[in-house]
Amino acid sequence: MATFAQLYSPQAVLPLLAAEFDVPPATAALAVSAATLGLAVAVIPWSIVADRIGRVQAMTIGIVAATALGLAAPLSADVATLLVLRLAEGAALGAVPALALAYLSEEVDPRHAAAAAGSYIAGTTLGGLSGRLVSGPIADLAEWRTGLWATAVLCAAAAVAFLLLVPRARGFTPLVRGGARIATRLAVNLRSPAQLALYAQGFLLMGAFVAMYNYLGFHLTHPPFSLPGWIVTSLFVAYLAGTVSSPWAGTLASRHGRLPVLLVSTAAMAVGTALMLVPIVLVILGGLVVMTAGFFGAHAVASGWAPASARPDTRAQASSLYYLGYYGGSSLFGWSLGYVFDAAGWGVFLGVVVAMCGGAAVLAIGALRKH
């Protein structure tokens, strides 16, 4: 919650940001993409730091710094300042997704690692949902700055809870070798077709997912729907589908294998996306629920698979590279698909999202069948 509520809270107020700063939807969406870009750039440096000082210590530094930046971001007088602060905030937040799954893979019995990863992903859905549901309604009642501040206060409380509750690492062994050794650990993963296919899952599926949530609000606040902001914000409750599907996918992967669960989840994501072409709000909501459940099921499997299948001394780098692809896709497609939405409309936008799901599935089948 301390991480993902901060990361995605602006998503619920993007139409308000666009109106406040008189910018198009794709520019407003940079409030999300700047943070995910900062996170993507920072995950590998965080993995290097954590190999030396420990997973818990590095996550602690990142969360505290991000909380301070989150409280400062709503003070921005213009969109450029907001984007710079969000970039820095995302870089600080990168400590948690870069390291949490490596931490779990070291501390949890391997028989339960997939289920533990699914439980962690379920927690990220609650964080993302809470950030949106706090910032959106409060911004509707007051302004977008107040909405973001309310989320930042919630995240500060969650950060304190993390510091008090996180178990001390028992399976961590510090690595103090120099840069060449770090480069070697990165190269080991980058030479693995299976690892590259897993990184591609994050890149394509997360890019499609964030783009959907970025621009669905614009679609529903425009004719023929013209829904008020508080109703559009309430649609983020669909995130709870991911809270259910993430641990379920992790448990099923432990029993039946990761690849079948990954492919079924990706197919569900594509089907849910296609349903949103129907111009009926209830059908769109149903499609959003299915799409969200599918995405988080796929993410729970792929994100836990990357460090679990890596060499023990390269797990932090494997997890970091996955999240580099994951948040790189979020930044790139969360911004660029806004131009598709603006220029070609909702139907073409959905077609691109379905094509991205198909591409991820093809890569998974090609590279992960023997893993």
Q: Are 349 and 340 in contact (CB under 8 A)?
A: yes
**Residue 178 predicted with pLDDT over 70:** no
Helix axes 14-21, 30-53, angle to 10 degrees: 120
Q: Of all residues in the chain, what percent carry a pLDDT higher than 70?
A: 97
**Residue 210 predicted with pLDDT over 70:** yes
pLDDT in the model for residue 266: 97
pLDDT band at residue 50 under the 50/70/90 scheme: confident
Alpha-carbon distances of 201 from 2, 31, 111, 358, 364, rounded to whole Å: 25, 24, 23, 10, 8
- How does DSSP assign 41-97, residue by residue? HHHHHHHHHHHHH-HHHHHHHHHHHHHHHHHHGGG-SSHHHHHHHHHHHHHHHTHHH
pLDDT in the model for residue 283: 95
pLDDT in the model for residue 87: 96
Please provide the CATH number assigned to the domain covering 4-166+178-368: 1.20.1250.20
Q: Which burial class, exposed, middle or buried, applies to 223 when counting CB atoms under 10 A from its CB (0-12, 13-18, 19+)?
A: exposed
DSSP at 167 = P
Work out the mean pLDDT of the chain and round it to a whole number.
88
State pLDDT tens for residues 79-134.
999 999 999 999 999 888 878 877 887 888 877 877 787 788 788 888 888 888 88
Contacts of 338 (CB under 8 A, 6+ apart): 24, 25, 26, 29, 211, 214, 215
